Amino acid sequence: MERSNTNRATVKRCRHWGRRFVATSIVVGVAALCIGFLWYAVQYPENEGSFDQKADGIVALTGGPDRINDAVELLAAGRGKRLLITGVNPTTRMEELAKLMPRYEAMFNCCIDLDRSALNTIGNAVETRRWALERGFKSLIIVTSRFHMARALAELEHQLPEVALIPYPVVSDKQRAEPWWTSFPAARALAFEYLKYLAAAVRMKFDWIVAMRDTTSSRSRA
């Protein structure tokens, strides 16, 4: 009887500590997510500062007209030798984009390339890798939205670990007038981007583990 009571007490203590462990893990996990979100949110400023850096090439990831405008202006200012606009709609022609920026029409005729095959950020990174390697570029200015920049850089670094990436985050007029913490739709969009960034980070970590395992296996067979 005494042993039975002891066993029940032991089970009860284990359940108690198990519940505490689960509760603590949830609290720590939520806190880590919140801290990570704040880190993600302050990575790039709400307002664009002065930009005086140069690179071999410039890459604009589509998703808003401001990105293309800013990228073309960087090219015209001599910040890079050539511009890739990646993720362009397959039906969009070079002439149509040039008409939107008649001041820089000559740039479209000589120094701008369009990628129409990328459907997402992973595709943007893959096509950027192909474009940069073909031209021997060792440094790139990356033009995309402030919310999207961290994930874009992570995907590009995954594809081009030997290439220096210089971020040029684009802040829209609406984002300047309405910071994310004052707007539920903006905060929701930022939170969604953060979750996609976490998912991409986990996927790339898994890719790295698989690559290391394959390399080790190949060496063992050799």
Query: Which stretches of the chain drop beneath a pLDDT of 70?
Result: 1-19, 21-23, 28-29, 33, 44-50, 173-177, 207-222
Question: What is the 3 state secondary structure string of 24-84?
Answer: HHHHHHHHHHHHHHHHHHCCCCCCCCCCCCCCCEEEEECCCHHHHHHHHHHHHCCCCCEEE
Name the β-bridge partners of 166: 141
Taking domain 57-207, whether its CATH number is 3.40.50 is answered by: yes
Query: pLDDT (tens digit, 9 = 90+) per residue, 149-178?
Result: 999 999 999 999 999 999 999 887 666 657
Amino acid at 130: R
Q: What is the pLDDT of residue 173?
A: 65
Q: What is the pLDDT of residue 201?
A: 85
Q: What is the pLDDT of residue 177?
A: 56
Q: Nearest 5 degrees, angle CA 25-CA 26-CA 30?
A: 115
Query: Strands of 139-145's sheet, edge to edge?
Result: 112-115, 82-86, 57-61, 139-145, 164-170
Note the pTM of the prediction, 2 decimals: 0.78
Q: What is the pLDDT of residue 214?
A: 47
**Helix, strand or coil for residue 114?**
strand
Q: What is the pLDDT of residue 72?
A: 94
Concatenating the DSSP letter of every residue in 134-182 gives HHT--EEEEEEETTTHHHHHHHHHHH-TTSEEEEEEE--HHHHHS-GGG
Domain ranges of the chain: 2-42, 57-207
